[in-house]
Amino acid sequence: MGRDPDPTIKANLVQRILQYLLENGIQDLSLRPLAQALGTNARMLIYHFGSKEQLIVEALDLAQKHQIESLTNSPKPKVQSQDELAYLWQWFSSESFLPFAKLLFDIEVQAINGNTYYSAFATQIFEGWVRFIQSRFDTCDKATANVIVNTFSGFLLDLLVTKDTKRVNDSFKAFANLITKTGNL
């Protein structure tokens, strides 16, 4: 009978796997090159995570938890909703968040192509962002939070594809004007 995986080793691996994924993506991910980059072997990765999909999910889950924690711990500004929305967009469109956004899009493509494992995870990530958006605005209902998350997602995709920061930011400003006029924020 084998021993249970050491949680400290696994926690360290998750951090390093996340960094690898942010640098390399998941499209052509293979366990052997990943293990080699981490200074271990594919058998040990399977031992700790069970599957390649599970190690990806755990790394991305950790990243989202850190991001939401960081944003949640930032003071909630006592400003107009449009200013809070602008603050969030600035954070989501930052150079530090864009690699994570790209990974999420990679997961979503896998989900679209029928990978039910990634589909469940993408749904979980989306719901987490919806709850977070609701927590930042006192009068934000779930439907409005969905609109904001979906719109931010579209803006991020546009930004990653076109690299046209000015056009995307101008589009964000138009969106912020529209969404705050509804009175739902």
State which residues form the domain around 129.
Answer: 74-185
Q: What is the pLDDT of residue 26?
A: 87
Whichever domain contains 18, its CATH number is: 1.10.10
pLDDT in tens, 113-148: 998 888 888 898 899 899 999 988 888 999 999 999
Write the pLDDT tens digit of every residue in 29-74: 999 999 999 999 999 999 999 999 899 989 988 888 888 787 777 6
Q: Is 90 in the same domain as 127?
A: yes
Q: Identity (one letter) of the amino acid at 175? A: F
pTM greater than the 0.75 cutoff: yes
Q: Is residue 45 part of a domain?
A: yes
Specify if 111 maps to a domain.
yes
Same domain, 54 and 88: no
Residue 35 included in any domain: yes
Which residues, 6+ apart, have CB-to-CB distance to 183 below 8 Å?
A: 139
Kindly state whether residues 113 and 39 are assigned to the same domain: no
Q: Which two tokens stand for residue 126?
A: 């989306």
Domain assignment of residue 64, yes or no: no
